Copies of this chain bind each other. A is one copy, B any other.
């Protein structure tokens, strides 16, 4: 059985106020070409189909066209789950009807321990579709107050699944989660920190022949060959400039993994970081490139409208950093970069300490963690 594994489409995404719809349509068209060439038996989309709960209508149209084409024109079953960016309640619309067309879209914990079973010449492959969940969702679903962390939530789901697994068959898990040991980028939204950490231990998944993950934007294995993030279909921030985006093609034989291949995805416009002097850029050879560019200027003095000038040669220059400017000491730059990596909670704590001149105590920290958590849940549930 040949499985195409992709994730983190983030349709409706804005990068520096720019809609990525055209770039997303382009790269989804590349995936379509790959599907026609490779003829996988099933397509997995491991969450974050949309970038937000109420995506713009262009994103709705693109997802509709893409899924309709996969199901009807290409005739291949699709297994998809919601990620932390998707609204489970909104994406649930029509899912009963979609199932009869072989589009399996799992949006809630309820029912996620029942697999979708496909057959190949070796027998049954059971796919378990686990949407992104908050610990509170699992606590409610399993009526177990001891579930506090993301790890415990996944453990509860997997305990239920493993009780029904048949060792003769093969099992694939589809999840949207943060596995300990995975490499973050800046563009993944922080998961809730209730219960301490957002991490799930990779050892939980030892019973599965393949684990198809979404959430982290860089394609990667986590500790084992068969536990993988497909990565996003596009670079969604300059922190991903060095990523090589791909979809993962997994072939199962009778006993498990036979082969894993990564098929690179070429974007319509790349997202790159360039460093140099203004004059060099204006006279440079790659002028006119349509790529999205973050420019680090080495010039030290004042410059007149550098962005305006750069945009004449790089029409899609999106951001500018004056790394050589005397006003920007290296310390300031490093400080800003560090801030960008902080969680909402740490940022608030730092703000609090700045304003109050003293440390935030544990009670306050817990309280604020809950507030942030409930705000993020509200945003997600819109």
Interface residues of A (CB under 8 A from B): 54, 57, 60-61, 63-64, 68, 71-72, 87, 89-90, 92-98, 100-101, 103, 381-382
Picked from B57, B63, B94, the residue with its CB within 8 Å of the CB of A381 is B57
Closest B residue, CB atoms, query A94: B94
Q: Is A89 a contact of B61 with CB atoms below 8 Å?
A: yes
- CB<8 Å pairs between A and B, sample of 14: A54-B54, A57-B87, A57-B89, A57-B381, A57-B382, A60-B89, A60-B90, A60-B92, A60-B93, A64-B92, A64-B96, A68-B94, A72-B97, A97-B103
Closest B residue, CB atoms, query A105: B94
Contacts of A87 in B (CB 8 A): 57
Question: A92 CA to B61 CA in the complex, in Å?
Answer: 8
Q: How many monomers of this chain does the complex have?
A: 2
Not counting A57-B87, A94-B98, A100-B101, a sample of 7 additional A-B residue pairs whose C-beta atoms are within 8 angstroms of each other reads A60-B90, A61-B89, A68-B97, A71-B97, A94-B94, A97-B97, A100-B100
Question: A95 CA to B72 CA in the complex, in Å?
Answer: 12
Closest B residue, CB atoms, query A64: B93
Question: A381 CA to B89 CA in the complex, in Å?
Answer: 21
Most chain B CB atoms below 10 A, which of A71, A90, A97, A103: A97
Picked from B54, B96, B381, the residue with its CB within 8 Å of the CB of A72 is B96
Determine how close the nearest CB of chain B comes to the CB of A63; give it in whole angstroms: 7
Contacts of A382 in B (CB 8 A): 57
Closest B residue, CB atoms, query A55: B90
Q: Is A63 a contact of B98 with CB atoms below 8 Å?
A: no
Question: A95 CA to B95 CA in the complex, in Å?
Answer: 12
Question: A24 CA to B209 CA in the complex, in Å?
Answer: 47
Closest B residue, CB atoms, query A92: B64
Contacts of A71 in B (CB 8 A): 97
Determine how close the nearest CB of chain B comes to the CB of A6; give it in whole angstroms: 20
Q: Is B96 a contact of A68 with CB atoms below 8 Å?
A: yes
Contacts of A100 in B (CB 8 A): 100-101
Determine how close the nearest CB of chain B comes to the CB of A28; give it in whole angstroms: 16
Question: A297 CA to B106 CA in the complex, in Å?
Answer: 54
Contacts of A60 in B (CB 8 A): 89-90, 92-93
Question: A381 CA to B56 CA in the complex, in Å?
Answer: 10
Determine how close the nearest CB of chain B comes to the CB of A62; give it in whole angstroms: 10
Determine how close the nearest CB of chain B comes to the CB of A70; give it in whole angstroms: 11
Closest B residue, CB atoms, query A69: B96
Closest B residue, CB atoms, query A96: B68
Closest B residue, CB atoms, query A61: B89
Contacts of A90 in B (CB 8 A): 57, 60
Closest B residue, CB atoms, query A68: B96
